[in-house]
């Protein structure tokens, strides 16, 4: 929908420019004739035809030179040369027409020259008045006004050119491009909109010193994270403030869209690995034209599951969550892009089996993603009975109702904290995995599976929002241990892999996502501080506070005795699990139900760790 609006806007702008040109060129012809006819008798018919020919030829050549496919707000030297080329071609064409006609055109060479002069001048004024005004202001403006900040653009391609043109045409944005850096040695010495390519990565320091610039804008949109990180770290090594271009994916967009804008480099851009590719055919077969239900649909993972379910063609989306404010926000987001019959919002809790029954019997979902869970480790340490009610028995309710309602596939969103859990939250998620495995072993209808992954950047349970708040308040940033490390993914990448794992599920699997190498939390905190333009332990202190109850230095993605097989999809593995001790599981669930109903947190903790390995619990 946004793409359609953008194309419509570009078409409207082109038609408006065309209409202005026709009017201006007609006036230019009349003015040229009045000044250049030297007392010749005015003949309406012949002059009318001559004017139509002159204006038509001009419009044709401007079209050939692609003058009506440019957003002139960001135009530069190349676009100016195209306009001049179009008028040169117009002049030659008019002469050819004049000499090839038996009686010739009434237009004298003087009138032709005057017409080209007036119409070209008008074209330049119409198309380049903003850049020209900006240049005049920069050159002759009030010197008492604070000058814009000098900025170096990293990247001499289409996106870099578009960004420079934006800065030049919009001085009120506060940036003055002074130099370009590019790692392609063949571009050294070339000029983009009057700004020279002066070097590459090795010239950052001398370029900053020479041009008195402290900010570098990375204007390379087709770049992987590994390369982005190298450029970022080299810029930061010289204490540069780093920004990046947002919203551009190709050359045409870069030169014809008003979406060229700057953002601070996101922490997601700096992950020490590349994102996994998606298998679009796999997702289409799994999601397209299906009725999809997401429990916990207003949460960080749940809301992204909802976005991607609609993106990949779900017939209908059912968003189920008890978080009223989150449901309001996701509705505000979705109603801008989707009609009301495409999705439904149902406020409810997975602890309410009757609510689940009424909803599933009515909407008849074919796929259920179960993302509803309490996930904050410290909060569940002091509210273990609620973790049991929601994460275990809430999951049991959804599992049982899926079987009763004939759901095709149930996918549990699990966590690395379920492996050798050191806390109640992780133990409750491990119990949820066991429920899935147990149900899958007796199911002859619904396919049950779980997907296990680590931390996601920016989710409500992630350290990132906490770190950002601490940085914004002046610090300190608190890290519990210098050697603590975690696996990280972006939310969209994790959800794409969850969906693809769901498509691969045959029943009873626990899928594990390849999350690359774990990242030290201390390093993550340092990166966030640097992204804010500050220096760790100079501007913002990083404080080590000590491990909290239920925390481990390192989270695992599988148990040591679990065998892991590859799947047909890069980045997704499947664990081969030991059979569930059904009798022990039933006894544990009975005891847990009694403890949770009684609000006995200590009893709930004791019972759950009788079923789940507790080798890390009391370390």
Helix/strand number for the chain, H first, E second: 21, 22
Residues contacting 615, CB < 8 A, separation 6+: 420
Quick check: 432 and 395 in contact, CB under 8 A? yes
- Token pair of 593 as six digits: 């139900």
Question: How far, in Å, CA of 610 to CA of 619, rounded?
Answer: 17
Catalytic residue among 316, 409, 417, 439: 417
**Pairing relationship of beta strands 215-218 and 195-199 according to DSSP bridges:** unpaired
Length, in residues, of the chain: 619
**Pairing relationship of beta strands 542-544 and 563-566 according to DSSP bridges:** unpaired
Distances (CA, A) of 156 to 190, 215, 265, 590: 9, 16, 19, 67
335 carries an active-site annotation: no
Reported as type and span, the H/E element at residue 327 is helix 324-334
Q: How far is CA 415 from the centre of its chain?
A: 24
From 478, 474, 418, select the one nearest 611 (Cα to Cα).
418
Residue 328: helix, strand or coil by DSSP? helix
Query: What is the sign of the dihedral through the CA atoms of 522, 528, 531 and 536?
Result: negative
Question: How far, in Å, CA of 383 to CA of 423, rounded?
Answer: 11
Question: How far, in Å, CA of 463 to CA of 239, rounded?
Answer: 25
HSE of 368, CA atoms in CB hemisphere, 13 A: 31
Reported as type and span, the H/E element at residue 489 is strand 488-490
Residue 150: helix, strand or coil by DSSP? strand
Question: How far, in Å, CA of 426 to CA of 153, rounded?
Answer: 46
What separation, in Å, do the N-terminal and C-terminal C-alpha atoms of the chain show?
A: 54
CA angle 491/280/415 to nearest 5° reads 30
Count CB atoms within 10 A of the CB of residue 401.
22
Quick check: 455 and 462 in contact, CB under 8 A? yes
Place of tokens 């003058």: 67
Angle between helices 353-363 and 394-405 (to 10 degrees): 30
**Pairing relationship of beta strands 409-415 and 367-370 according to DSSP bridges:** parallel
Q: How far is CA 256 from the centre of its chain?
A: 20
Quick check: 452 and 426 in contact, CB under 8 A? no
Place of tokens 């370009």: 180
Quick check: 521 and 470 in contact, CB under 8 A? no
Question: How far, in Å, CA of 390 to CA of 300, rounded?
Answer: 17
Question: How far, in Å, CA of 39 to CA of 41, rounded?
Answer: 6
**Pairing relationship of beta strands 572-576 and 563-566 according to DSSP bridges:** antiparallel
Residue 394: helix, strand or coil by DSSP? helix
Catalogue the active-site residues: 417
């Amino acid at each position: 929908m946004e793409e359609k609006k953008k194309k419509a806007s570009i078409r409207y702008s082109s038609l408006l420019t065309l209409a202005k040109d026709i009017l201006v060129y007609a006036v230019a012809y009349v003015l040229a004739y009045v000044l250049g006819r030297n007392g010749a008798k005015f003949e309406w018919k012949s002059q009318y035809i001559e004017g139509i020919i002159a204006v038509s030829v001009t419009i044709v050549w401007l079209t050939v030179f692609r003058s009506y496919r440019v957003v002139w707000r960001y135009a530069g030297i190349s676009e100016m040369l195209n306009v001049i080329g179009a008028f040169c071609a117009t002049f030659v064409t008019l002469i050819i027409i004049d000499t090839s006609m038996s009686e010739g055109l009434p237009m004298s060479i003087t009138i032709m020259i005057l017409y080209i002069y007036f119409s070209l001048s008008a074209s330049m004024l119409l198309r380049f008045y903003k850049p020209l005004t900006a240049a005049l202001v920069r050159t002759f403006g009030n010197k008492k006004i604070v000058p814009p900040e000098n900025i170096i653009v990293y990247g001499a391609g289409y996106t870099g050119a578009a960004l420079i043109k934006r800065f030049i045409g919009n001085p009120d944005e506060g940036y003055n491009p002074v130099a370009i850096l590019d790692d392609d040695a063949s571009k050294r010495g070339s000029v983009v909109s009057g700004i020279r390519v002066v070097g590459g990565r090795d010239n950052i320091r001398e370029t900053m010193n020479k041009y008195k610039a402290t900010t570098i804008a990375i204007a390379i949109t087709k770049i992987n994270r590994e390369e982005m990180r190298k450029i970022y770290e080299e810029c930061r090594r010289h204490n540069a403030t780093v920004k990046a271009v947002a919203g551009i994916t190709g050359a045409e967009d870069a030169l014809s869209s008003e979406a060229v804008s700057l953002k601070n480099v996101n922490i997601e851009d700096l992950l020490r690995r590349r994102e996994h590719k998606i298998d679009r055919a796999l997702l289409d077969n799994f999601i397209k034209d299906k009725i999809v239900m997401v429990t916990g649909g207003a949460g960080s993972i749940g809301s992204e599951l909802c976005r991607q379910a609609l993106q990949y063609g779900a017939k209908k989306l059912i968003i189920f969550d008890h978080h009223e404010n989150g449901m309001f926000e996701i509705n505000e987001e979705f109603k801008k892009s989707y009609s009301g019959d495409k999705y439904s919002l149902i406020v409810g809790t997975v602890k309410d089996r009757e609510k689940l029954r009424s909803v599933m019997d009515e909407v008849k979902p074919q796929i259920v993603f179960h993302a509803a869970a309490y996930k904050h480790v410290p909060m569940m340490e002091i509210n273990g009975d609620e973790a049991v009610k929601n994460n275990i028995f809430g999951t049991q309710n959804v599992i049982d109702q899926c079987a009763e309602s004939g759901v095709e596939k149930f996918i549990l969103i699990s966590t690395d904290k379920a492996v050798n859990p050191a806390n109640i939250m992780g133990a409750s998620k491990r119990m949820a995995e066991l429920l899935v495995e147990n149900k899958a072993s007796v199911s002859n209808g619904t396919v049950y599976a779980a997907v296990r992954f680590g931390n996601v950047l920016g989710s409500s349970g992630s350290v990132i929002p906490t770190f950002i708040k601490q940085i914004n308040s002046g610090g300190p940033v608190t890290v519990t241990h210098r050697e603590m490390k975690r696996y990280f993914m972006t939310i969209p990448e994790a959800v794409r892999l969850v969906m693809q794992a769901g498509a691969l599920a045959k029943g009873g699997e626990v899928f594990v996502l390849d999350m690359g190498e774990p990242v030290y939390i201390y390093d993550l905190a340092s990166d966030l501080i640097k992204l804010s333009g500050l220096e760790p332990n100079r501007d913002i202190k990083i404080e080590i506070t000590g491990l909290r109850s239920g925390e481990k230095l390192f989270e695992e993605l599988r148990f040591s005795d679990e065998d892991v097989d590859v799947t047909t999809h890069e980045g997704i593995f499947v664990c081969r699990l030991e059979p569930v001790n059904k009798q022990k599981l039933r006894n544990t669930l009975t005891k847990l139900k009694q403890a949770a109903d009684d609000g006995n947190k200590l009893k709930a903790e004791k019972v759950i760790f009788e079923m789940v390995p507790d080798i890390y619990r009391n370390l």
